[in-house]
Amino acid sequence: MKAFERIVKNHITKATTAQLGPFQFAYRPAQDHGPALTEFMEWCDTTCLELNVTKTEEMVVFSSRQQESRLTSAPTFIHGEPVEVVKQYKYLNIN
């Protein structure tokens, strides 16, 4: 997961101006994770890393219930398979 976090952060950092922090994209309207996900999938293909889509889940975090009620994003697909959207998940910390 750390690799994905690094890729997303690098993509966001490149896309923001010097006045914005890399995580402030989440507070701007009409922003999604599509470009970062595409870059991650390209990296997986390049490094021959196979992602198990059936075990992949997507969780969207909101700062208020108003934002949650306005969610109209399209479903996420990886290699043509839909990714399940969940409200909570169990983090399995493996060292």
At 71, list the tokens: 């969610």
Sign of the Cα torsion 18, 23, 26, 30 reads positive
pLDDT in tens, 62-82: 666 656 555 656 788 888 899
Number of structural domains found in the chain = 1
18 in any annotated domain: no
93 in any annotated domain: no
Domain extent, residue 31, equals 2-13+23-85
91 in any annotated domain: no
95 in any annotated domain: no
pLDDT bin (cut points 50, 70, 90) of residue 6 is confident
58 in any annotated domain: yes
3-state DSSP assignment of residue 39: helix
80 in any annotated domain: yes
